[in-house]
Amino acid sequence: MTQPPAEIIVGVDVGTTATKVVAFGLGTAWRRMAIREYPLLEPAPGLQVQNPDAIIVAVVAALAEVVAAAPGARVAGVSVSAAMHGLLAVDDTGTPLTPVITWADARSSAEAAALHADGTATLLHRQTGTPVHPMTPQTKLMWFSRHEPLLAVRARWWAGLKDYVLYRLTGRLVAELSSASATGLLDMATRQWSPMAAELAGVRLDQLPPIVATTAVLPLARQIAAQTGLPPGTPVVAGAADGPLGNLGTAAVSPGVAGLSLGTSGAIRAVVPEPAVDDAGHLFCYALTDVDWVIGGAVSNGGIVARWAGEIFGATSDTDVMSLAAAVPPGSDGLIMLPYLLAERAPLWDPAIPGAFLGVRRHHARGHFVRAAVEGVCLQMSTILAHLDLIVPVHEVRATGGTLRAALWREAMAAAVNRPLLVTASAEGTALGAAALGLYALGRSPTLFDAADALVTPGERAATPVTVAPELAATFDRMRARVPELLRAYQAVSALFEGPQVSSRRTTTDGDRLRSDGITDGVAELSG
């Protein structure tokens, strides 16, 4: 067994349903990972929220576990990543007034639609880099201003998930640039909150936390130090959002190299040296550092689509799902799925459009529908890549994610993107990216990318290339050419269907809802 190292750096990855904390030994291959899960709550249809203090309990417990695994080791620092687009209201004592409203929450669908209808969405996207969608804090704040005006006034701060985690760890409420850039409220040119976006959202600029660099260093609070076994004042690096750090962790940072992740949802992104937006509004642009930005798109419907199809068509396991699909020829004998089971994001940014199977014939059996689900997701990802190519031509894709463990997913994705696809083995990509940013911020590495290389072994950086038969790539080319016309025709039809609606009427008081979510208990005073 590898001996505990003399010094470690810790990456904290706060996700939607779990926190992953990884300690990396400096100068050694040693590492330890701890994971703590928490529920994603649905108090009403369309609402997807989290208990903020359950998240803090998970962060502290996982942090304590990895620190205990390296007794006597000096901790150079702790660097934090978090899921984007979360929002919560905080009063002047640091007590949450709301749950964390997550990216998956659809309550602000009407507000987003109104911004698109009057053309304001285009102006916001060009200034902030964030497409207008119900996922964004900007539209969620509009919802609160219209439907919870008393709460909007009571809130001393409107904070992101990362902001709140940093507050509980350090006692300082700040917003780092990367997570701020994903709110729909940041002016990319000034790197400060946008007065226009804030006014539309119905918030004052002084209700938004001060913005700091992703490399900002804050001291660990005494209370958290006592709970984790860390020395008080241990450096806490503000870090960045999970998407940009995922590119850093998987080495998808060089010009022309895109990072693709595919799990329940999916994303594809490339690093650029300055903010960039596409005029058509298909892509986001978020900060990694002040001089490194990430442009790309995310889909809500990734591996979850194939799992759903497997359940609907009688598969008994993930292996059975893939077996059903593999028994069908590429192209699913003409069957195509538009995989919009959940409110979709890129490239359409249309949460209302429902999914569909198109081209159904009598000879289509269970396997056809499952394979069409896999191929539909891959085609969606390739469409985002086509838009990305217009900004930064991509010659290689580095991919990661549990879904890609299946050979069929790898082959279909490689055929869909139709360029070299290398699947990386690292399971700690985002936490590794956070730790690397921490090393760089602490002056322990000359560049951000050298820092990432210092935390991995040569074998981990190795990636398995996926070989695609020319005929398979040609099949996906033909399918991809059909999709735009099918979408145009289907959007007219889909408008006849009424999607899930989120009621704007309040059914409980603020206090009743907070008590039912259990978030008013145990919010401790923080001390430096």
Residue 277 lies in a domain: no
Are 165 and 89 in a shared domain?
yes
Domain edge (last residue) among 209, 243, 277: 243
Q: What is the pLDDT of residue 342?
A: 86
Distance CA 528, CA 523 (A): 16
Are 311 and 224 in a shared domain?
no
The predicted-structure confidence for 501-522, as pLDDT tens digits, reads as follows: 433 333 333 333 333 333 333 3
Q: What is the pLDDT of residue 458?
A: 67
Would the pLDDT of 388 be above 80?
Answer: yes
Are 38 and 134 in a shared domain?
yes
Are 386 and 488 in a shared domain?
yes
Residue 261 lies in a domain: no
Q: What is the pLDDT of residue 406?
A: 92
Are 335 and 194 in a shared domain?
no
Would the pLDDT of 499 be above 90?
Answer: no
CB 394 within 8 A of CB 388: yes
Distance CA 491, CA 480 (A): 17
Q: What is the pLDDT of residue 513?
A: 34
Are 215 and 316 in a shared domain?
no
Residue 279 lies in a domain: no
Contacts of 400 (CB under 8 A, 6+ apart): 246, 250, 259, 260, 261, 262, 423, 424, 426, 429
Q: What is the pLDDT of residue 426?
A: 64
Are 317 and 226 in a shared domain?
no
> Which residues are registered as beta bridge partners of 9?
24, 77
For the domain that residue 188 is a member of, what is the CATH number? 3.30.420.40
Are 238 and 344 in a shared domain?
no
Helices (H), 73-129: 109-117, 120-128
Are 335 and 477 in a shared domain?
yes
Residue 410 lies in a domain: yes
Report the relative pairing of strands 7-14 and 18-25 from DSSP bridges.
antiparallel
**pLDDT, the chain, mean:** 90
Are 224 and 306 in a shared domain?
no
Would the pLDDT of 190 be above 60?
Answer: yes
Residue 466 Cα distances to 324, 388, 401, 402, 424, angstroms: 21, 21, 15, 16, 11
Residue 521 lies in a domain: no
Q: Kindly state the percentage of the chain with pLDDT values over 90.
A: 75
111: containing domain: 7-243
- 228 or 521, higher pLDDT: 228
Residue 505 lies in a domain: no
Residue 36 lies in a domain: yes
Are 72 and 178 in a shared domain?
yes
Number of domains in the chain: 2
Q: What is the pLDDT of residue 182?
A: 97
CB 384 within 8 A of CB 299: yes
Are 315 and 173 in a shared domain?
no
Residue 453 lies in a domain: no
